[in-house]
Chain A
Amino acid sequence: DQQVKQNSPSLSVQEGRISILNCDYTNSMFDYFLWYKKYPAEGPTFLISISSIKDKNEDGRFTVFLNKSAKHLSLHIVPSQPGDSAVYFCAASANTDKLIFGTGTRLQVFP
């Protein structure tokens, strides 16, 4: 049972435009959500997070939106840059150290 789902395995965006990566979850007990970025042959690196008491968190070019009623979160990257090309994982936690990961979305930013 996949509790965290990223239904788009890949996304291609032109440089300078907005990239929107989506994530859906099923467990209403999740109270903290994170986005990780992963380059080939490297481990995931933390990007941005959001608590369930918020609906938006912004850090530079990255903004995460949370819609609890829809059990949906999204990561917006604007403007997108070629260096953003990577696999993005969303992850969720239910008040524990355990992270439940989605399957990832491969983002490609082309010139």
Chain B
Amino acid sequence: GAVVSQHPSRVICKSGTSVKIECRSLDFQATTMFWYRQFPKKSLMLMATSNEGSKATYEQGVEKDKFLINHASLTLSTLTVTSAHPEDSSFYICSARPTGGRGFREQYFGPGTRLTVT
């Protein structure tokens, strides 16, 4: 149980285009999902916290107009990188916290999406 999927796993796009990444909790409902970004040999950096039916909360330094997050259902959150540039190339990972789960800090991670902007 507690599987989180991400789609696509890899995407290459041209500079200036937008890319949407999906995060789904497959066998549980998640009121809260998190989006992380990982640079090579760096830690996972929290970008934003996404709550179903409400606006996402962005971490300091993360441009909300560039990284659009939508959490329209209890099993799906999407991250759209708008007008992507090469510096947006990174590994994006989502996680989902089960609604009423065993621990409020419990998070299940997706496999990640490798974004390359050319």
A: residues with CB less than 8 A from B are: 2, 4, 9, 32, 34, 36, 41-46, 49, 89, 93, 97-104
Interface of B is mostly: strand
Residues of A within 8 A of B108 (CB): 43, 46
Please count how many residues in chain B sit with their CB below 8 Å of the partner chain's CB atoms. Answer: 25
Nearest A residue (CB) for B3:
A43
The 3 A-B pairs at the shortest CB distance, nearest first, are namely: A43-B109, A101-B43, A101-B44
Q: Give B residues with C-beta under 8 Å from A.
A: 4, 6, 9, 32, 34, 36, 41-46, 49, 93, 95, 97, 104-112
Report the number of A-B residue pairs with Cβ-Cβ less than 8 Å.
56
In the assembled complex, the Cα of A110 lies from the Cα of B29 at a distance in Å of 39
B59's nearest neighbour on chain A, judged by CB, is A98
**Interface pair A89/B43, CB less than 8 Å apart:** yes
Hey, which chain A residues are within 8 Å of B34, CB to CB? 97, 99
User: What distance in Å separates the Cβ of B99 from its nearest Cβ neighbour in chain A?
Assistant: 13
